[in-house]
Structure 1
Amino acid sequence: MATIFTPGPALQSNSSEQNRFMEKLMAKILSFYDEQSLIDVTFKVSNPTAVVPAHRLILAAASPYFENLFRGEQGNNPVIEINDIDSDTLERLITFCYTGEAPITVNNVGAMLKAAIVLQLNDAINSCVDCIMKNINGYTLQAAYTLERETQCERLKQKLIEYEIKNFMEISRRVEFLSFDVEKLQRILESDNLNITREEDAYDAIKRWFNYDEPARQEQLPILIASLRLTQFDADFLLTHIQPLSGCELLAFKAISWIREPAARTKINIRFTEPRATCEKTLLALGSTEMNHNLLQYNKAEDKWQDYASLEIDYTYYCMILEDDNLIFIGGRKSGVSSKIVRSLNIRNKTWQNLPAMNQARCGHCVVELDGKIYAIGGLEGEEVLSSVERYTPSDGWESVSSLIVERHSAGAVTLNNKVYIMGGTNTPLRALKLVECYNPDSNIWTSCADMTECRVLPHVKVHKGHIYVLDTYSANRRQSVERYDPERNTWSKICCLNSDWARIAGMSLDNKLWLFGRLESDNVPSVSVYDEHNDRWVEKCSLHNVDGLFRCIVPVALVSMK
């Protein structure tokens, strides 16, 4: 006679008694299994041939597969053959049905996952996926992709997408990324948690994916472009990069209208208008006095700077660049000798790592990043002024590319429109330069551009809204000139002067504005200003009382949290 078990009041009110009862019950069941007592079913398995005894009731309770098997035609057979699972794997999973645990390793996880899916053991599937993700790295990722395709495991697929979202900058440069289907890539790009520091990173990844098979992906491109936060680009970028793409004209028009016509935004149907959670921008600066170096983070809400980390750096005249979540220090001078050293500081965990050294020692050089490659340009080796250029990729290390037309050090460099620009600097003690060169990585050629209006040594050069802005570090007359380069017209024009004896422009516009750091006239305290383009003037924002000395580098990051 069938009965329905309902826990009594005593067991409900005393969970410890219930737990002890369940522990005793499971211990007895396990002893039956270990002793092969009261066995009522045996599985005959090949590869290698073996028999695996078990209890029908336990297996049926643990898995819908076994429940349906035992209710079927061969359910009452004392011996049941299983041909699509090897004996070792089946025995481990039968044990899992009793204990909820199994010896899952990197070596057997593939077979275990496939068998767990066949046997409909969801908890075992979860354990297998957890093992895969716990041990995933650059070497095992390809195997994980292959296993996901073979098994069509939804949980593994979801966990891989979470991994790709979190490690998007690394994943987007792998060869496997180029074979992602459009649905998978769209799902990743739509995530608000996509781990990028700027929306341009997502655009660059789409372009790499698209260029891999342009004819086949032409119709899919608008789907991915629509997944971007288009309103986070400026109008010039949308006009230059998005509007020319086939099928993306309307997307660009809507985003430009949203940017330029705030009053009409409620009438514009555009999917994403807010920045991603990971792209909430902040500024990170490196301030120094002699050998004391401090990383500082700007708190926009409180309009002030906060200490983030203290660094030990025993050399000078190095260059820095932000690469994903690392500050990479390249070259420099120690004890009067130029250096090849390359070191990486992880911003998140504040740990150092040595990277492959450059081929040539350099100080006073320029460093830029373009399409996942880091370029070291010109500089000094001892007293020799360099024209040589080398670039770094994790796969190939440092390799030489075409040299500059004119050797130089103490110059400024940026990337714009998939090209590298270098300007100013000096190549003799008495000769300052206003020469500008442009490097095209596709042709590996440097070409001359229009000269700046003035010679500039140690200029600070930054890209903002499709133009290059340049100003000097120092000015003898306390009135610094700032000029702007238009790459389409190949022309330079001056904008308003700065009442400042030293300054530099931030590495990325914050809130779509150009930020400047300097010491304004009649004020000995460093401060932050923002360029008001409409009125052609600089507006002071805040002072930097906790920084004494020049900034070595100013970078925007979305990698650190406010303290």
Structure 2
Amino acid sequence: MATSTTQETTSQRNLNELKLHFMEKLMKKIFCFYDEQSLIDVTFKVSNPEAFIPAHRLILSAASPYFENLFNGDQGNALLIEINDIDSDIFERLVAFCYTGKALFTVDNVAAMLKAAIVLQLEDATTICMDFIMSHIDECTLQGVYALERETQCELVKRKIHEYEIQNFLEISQSDEFLNFDVEKLQCLIESHNLNVACEKDAYDAITRWFTHDVFARQQHLPRLVACLRLTQFDVDFLLTHIQSLPGCELLALQASTWISNPSARTKINMRFTEPRVGIGAGNCDEKTLLLVYEEHNSSKACALQYNKAEDTWQKYATLYNYNINSSAILKDDNLLFIGGDSYKSPSKSFLSWNIPNKTWRKLSKMNHRRQDHSVVELEGKIYAIGGRGENDTPLQSVERYTASNGWEFVAPLITARCEAGAVSLNGKVYIIGGSNGKTLKSVECYNPDSNSWTYCAVMREEYPSLSVAAHNGHIYVVGYFNGMPAVERYDPNRDKWTQICSLDGKLNLTTKRPYVLSGSWYGFACASLDNELWAIGSSMNNETTVEVYNEANDQWVQKRPLPKGFIYSCFVIPVTFLTSK
């Protein structure tokens, strides 16, 4: 049986080889007839310059519907046929292509070859022309390619250009030609699941560039285009800040925000796209990671620790020699700004900037008030220093705001003096949360920069002697301790309501219970929003550390690799590109 099967396989292979050999001989003989002008049955008279080009009806008819229809028409039996709309050199090359499947293309002749191939309905020649053009785009120029598309109106040409646009979208979106795309063409690109972008913000940036080129005429098309973005790949803050402000896109931003922040409601939300594009993950535009200001156990110097997501490890990035204990830090562009703190056992007015990529320090203008254990936050490019402890250890009500043009200026004071509070900006406002002024506070205040005023918000459910805050998916999260147990509350600014998401019975507590810290005692704790997840990072009085991530969809905390033994000061989410190689 095996021998019979082997014989059949060998016989089939020999037969295939014979067929291939026959076809090669046949095509070689046919080309010899053409080359020798043997058995010719038609001649074409072509102008510019005038030339007579002989051929075989059967071969040309097999290669092209154009010739098949020509020879079956009124001129079918004519021995001489005139061609007036194609140059003789181009026509002769394409006739040769019908025999050999090959032609000599150059940057100078390929546009004419393409247009002639389209007229002669030589699809294979058209494809080869377009492949040549797209592989020589720098010489043929993008402007020339779009001119060919408009002139030929050929579907194959359009498809080839579309494939190029998909693969080279970042380059295309920066071209002048892109600004003149009609909305249908741009929508077709933005819809593509294979659009080659580093992250979804690249597609958003392209839409806004196209829109701002002619705002009045194009704003009506914005909702149509924005709906094609993978909106769920943005974080809620971006949706509320950038998408919601676009004309007609308010509902899209609300739907995407709800989809992200309330997984249980997703089945009720009608969105076109909820999955990332091929090869694109959430948050991978300028991929973000964590940078901690940290003091290792038994060390007298603070340092910056970077988190390696791929390996779930922490690595020392730099020593912060000028770090001032009890200062408050904030990220501004690619700098960490360290404001105030403890200077020789008294509050400080200092304002220092540490550049992350260059690891260099710079002094900036000092605050008006001496502060330590105060809160800092950025809103619309302005830095706010809020409350804290002043001289004689007195809780402060004063608030000052920094801009590069005006330096530090006082703004409306807090309603309640406080220190060791949490602060965060969200939806164009500043929130100051908890803290103490001789007693632990549950109160929350909101600052509106338009009216330069503070108002009370709903109080937290519990008092937290130590806490950290973060804006995450359109809400404010407070991670702190109550009765010696870690707990988390979430504030909804739209409803002015706090919800406890970590119960006190341990059911949903952070997985590691840390020692209770008395009011007024400072210890390391921080939280941050990274990759649509809430991260809680803490260190206990004995310098043990814990890193945990809240999975909102499963309502669970998951442990990550702990830090080396030490003390947490603050945590920042930064682009990986800020970190220099070692």
Q: Secondary structure at the match of 1:75?
A: coil
How far 1:297 moved relative to its partner?
6.1
Report the CA distance between 1:129 and its aligned residue: 1.4
**How far off is 1:172 after superposition?**
2.0
Q: How far does the alpha carbon of each residue in 1:105-125 deviate from its partner, in whole angstroms, 9 at most, with x for none?
A: 222221111111111111111
Say whether 1:201 aligns with 2:174: no
For residues 41 and 276 of structure 1, do their structure 2 counterparts lie closer, same or farther at Cα, with a shift above 3 Å needed?
Answer: same
Counterpart of 2:530? 509
The verdict on how the C-alpha distance between 1:108 and 1:41 changes in structure 2, with shifts beyond 3 A counting, is same
2: CA distance, partners of 1:232 / 1:285: 16
Report if the CA contact (8 A) 1:47-1:86 is conserved: yes
User: Is the 8 Å Cα contact of residues 233 and 282 (structure 2) preserved in structure 1?
Assistant: no
Contact 2:479 2:527 in 1 (8 A): no
The offset of 1:497, in angstroms, is 8.2
**Shift of the alpha carbon at 1:89?**
1.3
SS at match of 1:53: strand
Residues 1:218 and 2:219 are matched in the alignment: yes
C-alpha deviations, 1:193-217, integer Å up to 9, x for none? 2233443332232122112112222
Deviation at 1:243, TM superposition (A): 3.9
CA change 1:26–1:113 in 2 (3 A) is same
- Give the direction of change, closer, same or farther, for the CA distance of 1:306–1:74 in structure 2 (3 Å limit): farther
Q: Which amino acid aligns with 1:106?
A: V
Structure 1 residues 497 and 244: alpha-carbon distance in aligned structure 2, compared to 1, 3 A threshold: closer
- Percent identical among aligned pairs is 50
> Equivalent residue of 2:44, what SS?
strand
SS at 2:127 equivalent: helix
Partner of 1:148: 149
Partner secondary structure for residue 220 of structure 2: coil
SS where residue 188 of structure 1 aligns?
Answer: helix
Note the residue ranges of structure 2 that are not aligned, 5 or more in a row.
1-10, 292-305, 322-333, 336-352, 369-375, 386-398, 415-422, 433-445, 457-467, 470-477, 481-513, 515-521, 578-582
Equivalent in the alignment of 2:501: none
Preserved CA contact (<8 Å) 2:241 2:427: no
Which residue is equivalent to 2:167?
166
Task: Kindly state the Cα deviation for residue 168 of structure 1 after the two structures are TM-superposed.
Answer: 2.6
Give distance in 2, aligned partners of 1:115 and 1:366: 58
Aligned CA distance change for structure 1 residues 541 and 165 (closer, same or farther; 3 Å)? farther
Once the two structures are TM-superposed, the CA of residue 269 in structure 1 deviates from its matched residue by: 2.4
> Alpha-carbon deviation of 1:69?
0.8
Structure 1, residues 287-318: CA drift from partner, whole Å, max 9, x if none?
Answer: 9xxxxxxx99634xxxx4499xxxxx9xx99x
Worse-matched range after superposition: 117-126 or 41-50: 41-50
What CA deviation, in whole Å up to 9, does each residue of 1:266-301 have, x standing for no partner? 2332222223332344657699xxxxxxx99634xx
Q: Is the 8 A contact 2:149 2:157 kept in 1?
A: yes
Q: Are residues 1:543 and 2:561 paired? A: yes
Decide which of 291, 298, 303 is 2:309's aligned counterpart: 298
**SS of alignment partner, residue 202 of structure 1:** helix
Structure with higher Rg: it is: 2
Gaps of 5+ in 1: 1-9, 288-294, 308-312, 318-329, 332-362, 368-375, 388-404, 407-412, 425-433, 454-460, 471-483, 559-563
Measured in 2, the distance between the counterparts of 1:184 and 1:414 equals 42
The corresponding residue for 2:113 is 112
Q: Give the SS at the match of 2:531.
A: coil
1:386 shift after superposition: 9.2
- Distance in structure 2 (CA, Å) of the matches to 1:486 and 1:220: 33
The aligned residue for residue 347 of structure 1 is none
Secondary structure, aligned partner of 1:19:
helix
Distance (whole Å) between structure 1 residues aligned to residue 94 and residue 574 of structure 2: 52
Distance, in Å, in 1 between the alignment partners of 2:56 and 2:86 is 19
TM-score, reference length from structure 2: 0.57
Deviation at 1:84?
Answer: 1.5
Q: Who is 1:279 aligned against? A: 281
Residue 24 of structure 1: aligned partner? 25
Go from structure 1 to structure 2 and tell me whether the alpha carbon gap of 1:420 and 1:64 turns closer, same or farther (over 3 Å shift): farther
* Letter in structure 1 aligned against 2:181: F
In the TM superposition, what are the counterparts of 1:30-429 in structure 2 within 5 Å? 30-137=31-138, 140-277=141-278, 278-281=280-283, 298-299=309-310, 304-305=311-312, 365=355
8 A contact 2:412–2:452 mirrored in 1: no
Q: Could you list the per-position Cα deviations for residues 157-186 of structure 1 after superposition, in whole angstroms to 9, with x for gaps in the alignment?
A: 223223323333332222221111111111
Q: Name the amino acid aligned to 1:270.
A: M
Q: Contact 1:527/1:540 (CA < 8 Å) preserved in 2?
A: no
Closer, same or farther: CA 171–554 of 1 in aligned 2, 3 Å: farther
1:232-256, CA deviations, whole angstroms, 9 ceiling, x for partnerless residues?
3444544444344443344344334
Following the alignment from structure 2 to structure 1, what is the Cα–Cα distance between the partners of residues 256 and 546? 34
CA RMSD for the aligned pairs?
Answer: 5.7
- Measured at CA, do residues 450 and 75 of structure 1 come closer, stay the same or move farther in structure 2, by a change above 3 Å? farther
Asked if the contact 1:467–1:486 (Cα under 8 Å) also holds between the matched residues in 2, the reply is: yes
- Using the alignment, how far apart are the partners of 2:202 and 2:259 within structure 1? 21
Report the residue type matching 1:51 in the other structure.
Answer: F
How many residues end up aligned between the 2 structures? 431
- Shift in Å, 1:527: 7.3
